[in-house]
Amino acid sequence: MSETADGDRWSTPVKLSDTGYAYSPPIKTDAYGGVHVVWAEGNADRNTKPNVIYYSRLDQGGWTVPVDIVATNSPDRTVIPSSLATDNQGYLILLW
């Protein structure tokens, strides 16, 4: 979502996840004005445990198609993003 320049209203929400089992979405803006988000997803086959971390960014055309960046095939392990940061060169740093 984004607010208009005059602060009058918010844009329509955009659904980035289709599973219904998204967790812990840290959001970060970078020095260039880019907006980045990561989140964990689970599914019914894994008893909704988060086993994949996805990434998307907001650019001029809207949100990019989510990309899975971390995954585990073990039903006993979970992945949950705990922190998202950027360095002075614009690189993203993700801790999970």
pLDDT at 58 over 60: yes
**Main-chain dihedrals φ then ψ at residue 12, nearest 5 degrees:** -70, 135
3-state SS record for 38-79: EEEECCHHHCCCCCEEEEEEEECCEECCCEEEEECCCCCCCC
DSSP 20: S
Q: Of 10-14, 27-31, 46-50, 55-59, which range is least confident?
A: 46-50
At 79 the pLDDT is: 81
pLDDT at 73 over 80: no
Given a contact cutoff of 8 angstroms between Cβ atoms, the answer to whether 55 and 16 are in contact is no
Q: What is the mean pLDDT of residues 32-36?
A: 88
